[in-house]
Amino acid sequence: MNSRSLVANDFRLLWRHGFAIAYIVVAALYAAVLSALPRAWADAALPVLAWSDPAFFCFFFAGASVCLDLSQGTFRALFASPLRPAAYMVAKALNLGLLSFVMAAAVSASSRGSDFRLWPLAAAAIAGGAPAAVLGAVAALRLRSVNRFMIGSVPLFLLLALPAAEYAAGPYLPAWFSALARLTPADGSLRFARAAYSAVPWTDLAAGAASAVAWTAGASALALGPAVRAARGD
Amino acid sequence: MIQVEALRFSYPRSKNEAVSGIDFTVGPGEVFGFLGPSGAGKSTTQKILLGSLRGYSGHASVSGVESSKANGAYRAAIGAAFEFPCFYQKLSGLENLELFASFYPGPKDDPLPLLERLGLADAANRRVGEYSKGMKMRLNLARAVIHRPRALFLDEPTSGLDPANARVVRDIVRERAADGAAVFLTTHDMAAADATCDRVAFLVDGRIAACDAPDALKRRYGKRAVVVDRSGEPDGARAEFPLDGLADDEAFRAELRKPGVLGVRTLDSSLDGIFLRLTGKELA
């Protein structure tokens, strides 16, 4: 199987289905909102906006993309071929992660010029995009349609959102909430997003990377594999 | 090539078996028709052989590999055309074909001549969303054969096709078999099965009711007799005359001398007729 062709074709599908355009529209909205805020507020909001690109968009767009494969029947044809579910998922996560990174970088540049670091944004895209895309795909495979996915995936969405709540209101929340937020799939991504604009201890970043790897590997092995097998048999 | 032995399968939460102990083999170069009404177990058998359904008992294998252990190499040896063609609607026919072909290792057919053969060359760069059902069905076959599979699974490959395109599809299927592929063809279309298959199996309620070459079945279940059709005469009133000794049959000759003869026809059995006789069910 030609991996480059798989990634290129997946990107072509994201483009033709309007996912890439949606990223551009949201990036423009984010930039407009940031430009309207006082500088201190914009600086505080920027890490969350940069983090939300991989955490939320990869989750929803990976799920919507899988729902499209299910509704068009292409899922069945794809997995009657030698294509491995892992390769299918990596292609989706790579493209969505790349779009998230470009979007986060563009929004950051619109707000701070060149006063931010690119590599933590790239790391945030990977650390958030990979687990979020896997979880989005699992939810879509279990829920089977866009409508059911939009409603049924809300609990997972809230789980992904916990680190943002902790970032925004941590001092006012109970200790157990902060501890719980640190265990969620997108926590690692937020640590890297913060590191794009300010200093974050390397131990925090290492813990974030480990969390993202653990969530991606665990969700792939424990949830994605069984979901693909169940959908194959339908 | 394709081997099924004592295959049984029940869906979760179903009291009845979808497949109840079936046996058959499909050799290289053979076109095997799997015939039966909706719900008979055809699609379940195909899903098992494609490696999509596990949890069966008995054996279902392709090239000696059990389908429950289907991996990339197993699927690379298989080509499948599903009953309802499923493509990316926003990609062109050629883009779809190239995308799916890219998943398979080894030599492949050139997509453009294949599309041309199927009458799709002019539509190759049009989005599949703009294709008619017949065009999608032909593209479906192209996708199934482009990587030159050793085992080919075709579900209603001529459904929705005009006679000329149905013939092209049957020709391609026969050619792939001549090249050594084992073809497993699921259909309701008895005429297509008769014209294409080396052997057919009738599946009813998860069991194979009969399995043989179409001509052998027609001989076995047909009647060696003729009837004389006469204007205004109901079917039941027609006398039958045995083929053996027909030339010397005085009653037959007397029948021919009566006025109003429309024609003489044999009482060969058809696959439709055999199916009705075996199962008492209409094909749907």
**Is 90 exceeded by the pLDDT of residue A47?**
yes
Distances (CA, A) of A99 to A67, A136, A149, A182, B16: 20, 16, 22, 25, 49
Identify the band that residue B235 occupies on the pLDDT scale cut at 50, 70 and 90.
Answer: low
**Is 60 exceeded by the pLDDT of residue A53?**
yes
Q: Do A82 and B75 touch (CB under 8 A)?
A: yes
Q: Do B103 and A76 touch (CB under 8 A)?
A: no
pLDDT (average), residues B176-203: 92
- Whole-angstrom Cα distance, residue B203 to residue B42? 7
Using CB atoms, pick whichever of A1, A76, A229 lies closest to residue B82.
A76
Q: Report the DSSP pairing between strands B2-9 and B57-62.
A: antiparallel
A229 interfaces chain B, CB cutoff of 8 Å: yes
B2-9, strands of its sheet edge to edge: B19-26, B2-9, B57-62, B65-66
Residue-number span of the structural domain to which A55 is assigned: 3-233
**Is 90 exceeded by the pLDDT of residue B39?**
no
**Per mean pLDDT, which range of A108-122, A213-227, B211-225 is the poorest?**
B211-225
The string of DSSP codes covering B142-188 is: HHHHTT--SEEEEESTTTT--HHHHHHHHHHHHHHHHTT-EEEEEES
ipTM above 0.95, yes or no: no
**Per mean pLDDT, which range of A173-182, A203-212, B38-47, B272-281 is the poorest?**
B272-281
pLDDT (average), residues B234-258: 84
Q: Six-digit token pair at A44?
A: 């505080």
Helix (H, G, I), strand (E, B) or coil at B220: helix
Could you report the per-residue pLDDT of A54-99, keeping only the tens digit for each? 999 999 999 999 999 999 889 989 988 999 888 999 999 999 999 9
Distances (CA, A) of B48 to A9, A70, B9, B184: 29, 20, 9, 13
Inter-residue contact A70 to A144 (CB < 8 Å) = yes
For residue A10, the chain B residue with the least C-alpha distance is B99
Given this model, what pLDDT does residue A1 score? 61
Using CB atoms, pick whichever of B73, B80, B86 lies closest to residue A74.
B86
Q: Six-digit token pair at A5?
A: 């062709």
Using CB atoms, pick whichever of B82, B91, B102 lies closest to residue A77.
B82
**Is 80 exceeded by the pLDDT of residue B281?**
no
Residue window 150-209, chain B: list those with CB within 8 Å of chain A: none
Interface test with A, best of B99, B136, B139, B184 (most A CBs within 10 A): B99
Given this model, what pLDDT does residue B15 score? 83
**Is 60 exceeded by the pLDDT of residue A143?**
yes
Inter-residue contact B197 to B27 (CB < 8 Å) = no
A83 interfaces chain B, CB cutoff of 8 Å: yes
Q: Six-digit token pair at B243?
A: 């083929």
A225 interfaces chain B, CB cutoff of 8 Å: no
- Whole-angstrom Cα distance, residue A192 to residue B262? 89
Given this model, what pLDDT does residue B219 score? 82
Q: Which residue is listed with tokens 């040896």?
A: B77
- Whole-angstrom Cα distance, residue B183 to residue B44? 17
Given this model, what pLDDT does residue B192 score? 86
Helix (H, G, I), strand (E, B) or coil at B25: strand
Could you report the per-residue pLDDT of A154-203, keeping only the tens digit for each? 999 999 999 999 999 988 999 999 999 999 999 999 999 999 999 999 99
Phi, psi values for residue A15, rounded to 5°: -70, -50
Q: Do B87 and A81 touch (CB under 8 A)?
A: no
pLDDT (average), residues A13-22: 91
A81 interfaces chain B, CB cutoff of 8 Å: yes
Given this model, what pLDDT does residue A233 score? 67
**How far does the CA of residue B272 sit from the closest CA of chain A (Å)?**
30
Using CB atoms, pick whichever of A2, A74, A79 lies closest to residue B88.
A74
Q: Do A80 and B78 touch (CB under 8 A)?
A: yes
Given this model, what pLDDT does residue A176 score? 94
Using CB atoms, pick whichever of A73, A82, A83 lies closest to residue B86.
A73
Q: Nearest CA to B97 among B113, B75, B76?
A: B113
A39 interfaces chain B, CB cutoff of 8 Å: no
Identify the band that residue A215 occupies on the pLDDT scale cut at 50, 70 and 90.
Answer: very high
Instruction: Write the Ramachandran bin of A154: left for phi over 0, alpha for psi from -120 to 50, otherwise beta.
Output: alpha
Q: Do A82 and B73 touch (CB under 8 A)?
A: yes
**How far does the CA of residue B88 sit from the closest CA of chain A (Å)?**
7
Number of domains composing chain A: 1
Helix H, strand E, coil C: the string for chain A is CCHHHHHHHHHHHHHHCCHHHHHHHHHHHHHHHHHHCCHHHHHHHHHHHHHHHHHHHHHHHHHHHHHHHHHHCHHHHHCCCCCCHHHHHHHHHHHHHHHHHHHHHHHHHHHHCCCCCHHHHHHHHHHHHHHHHHHHHHHHHHHCCHHHHHHHCHHHHHHHHHHHHHHHHHHHCCHHHHHHHHCCCCHHHHHHHHHCCCCCCHHHHHHHHHHHHHHHHHHHHHHHHHHHHHHHCC
- Whole-angstrom Cα distance, residue A3 to residue B198? 40
Distances (CA, A) of B283 to B46, B187, B207: 19, 10, 16
A80 interfaces chain B, CB cutoff of 8 Å: yes
Report chain A residues whose CB lies below 8 A from the CB of B103: 1, 6, 78, 81-83
Report chain A residues whose CB lies below 8 A from the CB of B75: 80-82
- Whole-angstrom Cα distance, residue B144 to residue B153? 8
Q: Six-digit token pair at B204?
A: 């009813």
**Is 70 exceeded by the pLDDT of residue B283?**
no
